């Protein structure tokens, strides 16, 4: 699903109005109808107090129109107009008149007003600011927002949590609605998925208000949300007469004394995701352990006992995954540097492999184009420098990826794969995956997919999704706390099965 900027959403609104020859308040009516249906189908007339806080723009207009529909269906409502500006939108004013026609009189909240009482049992509808927010809310509006947040009521935000700008960090983190649920129009917003702004969104859902589908299809978006529909077409089915050579020979280079497990996890994941063959290159100390732990993986060792030195392999791997548990010993840095100069295979680079690159930036020119780098935020910062906001982070990562023609996988709750000026936002995974070694598993997965012929950016997008799905299935079986990285590997097969599962309706039809 595409993720549009605020500007693109306004253009989509405009093109819909033109194409369908409707008025902008018709679109607002549609939006409010969708909001109403969502709420009504859940409440089914339950007598709960619904307090609607409406701004004076179109987001407020949505709230006022929703208030009318709730009132007409007998709900107990209280409407407040948050009067933060005298530049009221036409559709807001139109809907305010329609509400007054029903003899519903909103209270106006101004600078001087007392904050209304909100019970934890109330439902709050937050329609103060939408995507038009372009400067810091006044302090009195911020205080109202903080008051709503402190009420412990269920807060339903219209389109976006009020106070959250779409393209920069909030001016004051306390002046943003902490939404229990966000009903967002047509397309999800990038801020829902970024670490600093996603915290304001507990749950979200998109409401289809029928914006011009041609416009959406033909407009290039900087970001895309990656769910099952986006991932399924990337899957490469296995053919009957294929053999292990068809699915590539992966080389995993890594490990050091005390960190051989990282290679075990990565090579096991690489094999489990379907690489035809996997060879691990490790320091001598790990030989017995790795051969015992994963007998299917072939093992080569360097000349030193505890660290990798002189990476010599007697074959040309299809793909190389390098860096997990590798450390930063001087010999290892030299070995990595020499290996980069002679290596001809595409690469996946992780962990200390990335840290070595950050400290020896001249090595970057030898990294094969289209390689996949998989940094967590700290590793990314070492690579591209400090950022002030998630938005700056993404811009810098995009520029770095473009400059070196690389794929960068920024790991996190919503891992974002950046390539060729675009960002692909993952939707699978859970906090149980915040555990040692889960990144090593991802390195193995992406390497193993590239070995099977997935293009690097596809391997990254598909791999991140599958890794998260394995995490979700692992968490269902074990719970968050007990989810270890090895459990992720165990669930790779289930994740494939889940991805390829026929939807239930189709199954019924074929039975």
Ligand X SMILES: Nc1ncnc2c1ncn2[C@@H]1O[C@H](COP(=O)(O)OP(=O)(O)O)[C@@H](O)[C@H]1O
Annotated binding site: 58-62, 126, 130-136, 159, 162, 262, 325, 376, 411-415, 439-440
Residue 77: what are its φ and ψ, rounded to 5°? -120, 155
Query: Which one of residues 274, 437, 444, 463 is an interface residue with ligand X (CB under 6 A)?
Result: 437
Answer yes or no whether residue 67 interacts with ligand NAX by CB under 6 A.
no
Q: Rounded to whole angstroms, how far apart are CA atoms 47 and 75?
A: 6
Q: Tell me which stretch binds K ion (CB under 5 A): 2-10, 104-112, 156-164, 493-501.
A: 156-164
Tell me the C-alpha distance between 156 and 221, whole Å. Answer: 27
From 100-108, 136-144, 177-185, 426-434, span contacting ligand X (CB under 6 A): 426-434
Rg (CA), the chain: 26
Quote the Cα angle for 179-181-185, to 5°. 105
Q: Does 8 bind ligand NAX (CB under 6 A)?
A: no
226 is a site residue for K ion (CB under 5 A): no
Q: Which of 34, 157, 178, 212 binds K ion (CB under 5 A)?
A: 157
- Which residues within the stretch 342-361 sit at the binding site for ligand X (CB under 6 A)? 351
434 in contact with ligand X (CB under 6 A)? yes
C-alpha to C-alpha distance for 199 and 178, rounded to whole angstroms: 8
- Conformation bin of residue 245: beta by default, left when phi > 0, alpha when psi is -120 to 50: alpha
Site string for ligand X, 465-494 (x = CB under 6 A): --x---------------------------
CB atoms within 10 A of CB 46: 9
Which residues are within 8 A (CB) of 393 and not within 5 positions of it... i.e. 6 or more apart? 377, 380, 384, 387, 410
Interface segment toward ligand NAX; rule CB under 6 A; list 94-102, 127-135, 357-365, 384-392:
127-135
User: To which residue do tokens 């179109």 refer?
Assistant: 58
Distance in Å, CB of 98 to ligand NAX, minimum: 14
- Total residues contacting ligand X by CB under 6 A comes to 18
Which residue, 130 or 437, has its beta carbon nearer to ligand X? 437
Closest of 323, 320, 366, 365 to residue 346, by C-alpha:
320
Residue 122 in contact with residue 151, Cβ under 8 Å? Answer: yes
Asked if 264 is part of the footprint of ligand X (rule: CB under 6 A), the reply reads no
29 binds ligand NAX (CB under 6 A): no
3-state SS string for 9-39? HHHHHHHHHHHHCCCHHHHHHHHHHHHHHHH
Kindly tell me which residue out of 4, 185, 391, 454 binds ligand NAX, with binding defined by CB under 6 A: 185
Rounded to whole angstroms, the Cα distance separating 108 from 79 reads 9
Q: Does 376 bind ligand X (CB under 6 A)?
A: yes
Q: Is 95 in the site for ligand NAX (CB under 6 A)?
A: no
353-380 burial, b at 16+ Cβ within 10 Å, e below that, comes to bbbbbbeeeebeeebbebbbbbbbeebb
The SS3 call for residue 267 is helix
Stretch 159-198 residues interacting with K ion (CB under 5 A): 162
The mark string for 139-158 relative to ligand NAX (x by CB under 6 A, - otherwise) is -------------------x
- Using the structure block, give the residue that is written with the tokens 């289930």: 494
Contacts for 201 with CB less than 8 Å, ≥ 6 apart: 161, 179, 182, 191, 192
Six-digit token pair at 502?
């026929």
Asked if 438 touches ligand X (CB under 6 A), the answer is yes
The answer to whether residue 156 forms part of the interface with K ion (CB under 5 A) is no
Q: Figure out which of the listed residues 170, 412, 448, 456 binds ligand X, where binding follows CB under 6 A.
A: 412
- Applying CB under 5 A, the residues found at the interface with K ion are 126, 157-158, 162
Binding site for ligand NAX (CB under 6 A): 13, 24, 27-28, 31, 55, 57-60, 62, 84-85, 89, 129-137, 158-159, 185, 209
Q: Which residues bind ligand X (CB under 6 A)?
A: 351, 376, 411-413, 415, 429-431, 433-434, 436-440, 442, 467
């Amino acid at each position: 699903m595409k993720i549009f900027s605020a500007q693109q959403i306004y253009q989509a609104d405009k093109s819909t109005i033109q194409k369908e020859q409707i008025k902008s308040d018709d679109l607002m009516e549609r939006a409010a109808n969708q909001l109403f249906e969502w709420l009504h189908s859940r409440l089914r007339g339950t007598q709960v107090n619904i307090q609607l806080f409406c701004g004076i723009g179109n987001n407020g207009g949505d709230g006022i129109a929703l208030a009318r529909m709730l009132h007409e269906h007998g709900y107990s409502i209280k409407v407040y107009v948050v009067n933060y500006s005298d530049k009221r939108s036409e559709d807001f004013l139109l809907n305010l008149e329609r509400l007054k026609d029903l003899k519903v009189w909103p209270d106006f909240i101004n600078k001087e007003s007392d904050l209304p009482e909100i019970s934890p049992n109330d439902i709050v509808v937050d329609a103060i600011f939408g995507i038009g927010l372009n400067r810091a809310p006044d302090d009195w509006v911020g205080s109202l927002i903080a008051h709503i947040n402190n009420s412990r009521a269920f807060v339903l935000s219209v389109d976006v949590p009020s106070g959250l700008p779409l393209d920069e960090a909030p001016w004051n983190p306390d002046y943003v609605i902490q939404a229990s649920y966000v009903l967002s129009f047509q397309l999800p917003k990038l801020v829902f998925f970024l670490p600093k702004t996603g915290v304001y969104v507990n749950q979200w859902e998109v409401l289809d208000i029928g914006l011009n589908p041609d416009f959406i299809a033909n407009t290039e978006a900087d970001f895309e949300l990656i769910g099952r529909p986006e991932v399924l077409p990337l899957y490469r089915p296995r053919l009957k007469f294929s053999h292990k050579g068809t699915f590539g020979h992966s080389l995993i280079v890594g490990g050091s004394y005390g960190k051989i497990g990282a290679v075990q996890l990565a090579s096991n994941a690489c094999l489990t995701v379907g690489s035809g063959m996997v060879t691990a290159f490790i320091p001598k100390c790990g030989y017995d352990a790795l051969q015992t732990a994963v007998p299917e993986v072939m093992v080569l060792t360097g000349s030193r006992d505890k660290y990798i030195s002189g990476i010599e392999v007697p074959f040309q791997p299809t793909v190389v995954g390098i860096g997990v548990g590798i450390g930063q010993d001087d010999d290892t840095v030299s070995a990595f540097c020499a290996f980069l100069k002679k290596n001809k295979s595409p690469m996946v680079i992780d962990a200390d492999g990335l840290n070595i690159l950050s400290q020896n930036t001249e090595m970057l020119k030898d990294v094969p184009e289209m390689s996949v780098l998989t940094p967590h935020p700290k590793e990314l910062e070492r690579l591209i420098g400090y950022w002030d906001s998630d938005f700056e982070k993404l811009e810098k990562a995009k520029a770095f990826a473009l400059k070196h023609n690389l794929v960068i996988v920024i790991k996190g709750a919503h891992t974002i794969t950046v390539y060729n000026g675009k960002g692909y936002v993952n939707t699978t995974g859970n906090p149980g995956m915040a555990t040692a070694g889960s990144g090593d598993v991802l390195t193995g997965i992406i390497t193993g997919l590239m070995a099977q012929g997935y293009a690097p950016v596809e391997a990254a997008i598909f791999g991140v999704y599958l890794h998260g799905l394995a995490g979700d299935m692992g968490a269902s079986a074990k719970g968050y706390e007990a989810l270890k990285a090895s459990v992720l590997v165990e669930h790779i097969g289930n994740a494939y099965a889940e991805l390829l599962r026929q939807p239930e309706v189709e199954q019924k039809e074929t039975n």
